[in-house]
A and B are shown apart, each in its own frame.
Chain A
Amino acid sequence: MSDAAALPRLLAGPAGAGPGTVDLDGHLALHGLPALDRDAAAGLADAADRAGLHGRGGAAFPTARKLRALAGARGPLRLRSLAVVANGAEAEPASRKDRVLLARSPHLVLDGLQLAALALGAQRAWIAVPEGAAAVRAAIDVALAERARAGRDAVAVAVATVPPRFVAGEERSLVHALNGGPPIPTAARPWQRGVDGSPTLVQNVETLAHLALIAARGPEWFRAVGDPGEPGSALVTVTGAIPGVDDAAVGAPTGEPPVLGVGDAAVGRPLREPASGPLGTPRPDVREVPVGTPLRNLVAGPFQALLAGGYAGGWLSPAAAAGARLLRADLVPLGATTGCGALVALPQWACPVAETARLARWLAGESAGQCGPCVFGLDAIAAALQSLRGPRPPRRDPLPDLRRWCGEVAGRGACGHPDGGVRMVRSALRVFAAELDDHARRGARDRCSAEPFLPLPAVLPPLPLRTARPRGAAREGPLRAARPRDGERGPITRSAA
């Protein structure tokens, strides 16, 4: 039995095997449960609870709580069974870990999916993969065929592809898409009304892989690495300033060297990559590390700032990053998040104002278009940041408006998309305060004309939806003109009750 604290776990392969997909025989030899049946799934929620497993998709919801909430649920009229969905959509552009996991260890994910289905008595299962990720799709198809021949799966698994829209990976969007609608978050909650109206469990593929290992090795084994408050290992995607990989990284990281995982060469998704700057095209690298690893072990200097938690995460100054660990307890108070484990190091040559503006514009464009504060707020924020990129300073200082809009937009959408956008912008207002102020007073500087750094997906046409329109704002007339202020009564007569 291997040392409990040894890594990698999720990305492990049989001794002597190469970096490719771990097939069913290899998986069983390494860590697979001999048979997936109700006994194997008994007590899954309790095991997840003792292990302290939290979702690895970004929201970090306690997995045991989700499983228990659904264990008591029953489909409408007791005719429909529950459904389980493995979410490998990975619409976060800065993240590659789900693709790498699916291509490397599909059987771990599929075991976790089966165990969750057995534990809940679900009879329908899906696995969602990104559209166009050929290597991932191939690995999943081969793995499902192997499992069919071996008779391993009690519940048949269907494969669904998800378009590369940012909100499409959100669990309600996924359910909506599986129900035949557009991939946007609806008001319905999957654990009450999900696929075909049945209560549905949606879990990130990495979470399911951890669940399979917990079922095989036990909760204490899971806790042997990581932090007592946030235990286990996690997959991270690091872009830029990768120790030992990027030529520009100077000095060795302190502490233990990071555990290198499987490179993403086989499973990359083509992005519209920017023309190479001094550091070349940024290339993401995926590795498995203990939760709570110091960030300085993952990202070598020098860098200008670190974006932690993906494109809707938070910027950290080098000093803050040097003192922080990959832990929600460290990163959330700093205005960032662990998210799906995506870290992007901004090189010295990039313009932080330009990059923040590009990100904000992209986030605004990725709105599902359902909620006014998100559609109009993120758009206004993006336009304000864009006004700082011109050679001359903007006529009107956009920073006070920016701060006000950030305060007004967060929490007023149906999903967390505007909150993520605001988090990223607020962190930029803090970390890049001097740069933003300089741009507001003097316009763009020399380095603003450098090539863009952050890879952004090609812009897709907007979803064909009713676009949120402020009808009230468009109206003129006595109601608008006589709008009351500060608690005074309006023209519409309100007779006393």
Chain B
Amino acid sequence: MSRRDAKRLAIDPIACDAHGLCAELLPELIARDDWGYPLLDGRPVPPELKVHARRAVAACPTLALKLAAAEQRARTRAPTGRRP
């Protein structure tokens, strides 16, 4: 898998309403927390799951799930220059 092809999942936390379709369609990569919100493990999407990842992105009712190139992971938070 070349670096150029590598993709990572990201979630817009404001748009996400915990419908849960993403976790249903991509359980290998998306789990749910105690309140139903998606948990990503941050790994790049393996090639064999790419089509399922794209389907999950398309299925999200609020367009909260995104797939972006791994080098420039879709950032939904402003860089604050600080780490928690």
Contact = CB atoms under 8 A, between A and B. Distances in A.
Interface of A: 54-55, 58-62, 171-172, 186-187, 189, 332, 337, 370-374, 376-377, 380, 405, 408, 410-416, 419-420, 422-423, 468-473, 475, 479, 483-492, 494, 497
Contact of B13 (A372, A408, A472): A372
A193 to B, nearest CB: 12
A471 B18 contact: yes
A486 B23 CA distance: 11
Contact of A416 (B17, B23, B84): B84
Given A61-B80, A332-B83, A414-B77, A469 B17 contact: yes
A229 to B, nearest CB: 14
B82 A414 contact: no
Q: Main SS of the interface on chain B?
A: loop
B24 A483 contact: yes
Contact of B16 (A372, A377, A408): A372
Interface string B54-84: 0100000000000000000000111111111
B35 to A, nearest CB: 4
29 contacts: A58-B82, A59-B81, A171-B78, A187-B12, A370-B13, A370-B14, A372-B17, A372-B18, A372-B36, A376-B35, A376-B37, A377-B33, A377-B35, A380-B35, A414-B77, A415-B78, A416-B77, A419-B84, A422-B84, A423-B84, A470-B37, A472-B36, A473-B36, A483-B23, A483-B32, A489-B27, A490-B27, A491-B24, A494-B52
Given A372-B35, A373-B37, A489-B27, A411 B84 contact: yes
Interface of B: 11-14, 16-20, 23-25, 27-28, 32-37, 39, 51-52, 55, 76-84
Given A371-B16, A484-B27, A487-B27, A472 B82 contact: no
A59 B82 contact: yes
B33 A408 contact: yes
B84 A187 contact: no
A371 B14 contact: yes
Count chain A CB atoms within 10 A of each CB in B11, B16, B36, B37 and give the residue with the most.
Answer: B37
Contacts of A337: 82
Given A380-B35, A488-B27, 7 more contacts: A189-B78, A332-B83, A371-B16, A414-B77, A469-B18, A472-B20, A486-B27
A468 B82 contact: no
A159 to B, nearest CB: 25
A412 B13 contact: yes
A473 B55 CA distance: 22
Contacts of B14: 186-187, 370-371, 414
B77 A497 contact: no
Contacts of A371: 13-14, 16
Contacts of B52: 494, 497
B74 to A, nearest CB: 11
A492 B25 contact: yes
Contact of A61 (B17, B23, B27, B81): B81
Contacts of B82: 58-61, 337, 416
A483 B26 CA distance: 11
A412 B41 CA distance: 12
Contact of A414 (B13, B18, B24, B83): B13
A416 B20 contact: no
Nearest to A55: B81
A61 B83 CA distance: 11
A337 B82 CA distance: 9
Nearest to A405: B34
A473 B27 contact: no
A114 B20 CA distance: 49
B77 A470 contact: no
B15 to A, nearest CB: 8
Contact of A380 (B13, B34, B39, B83): B34
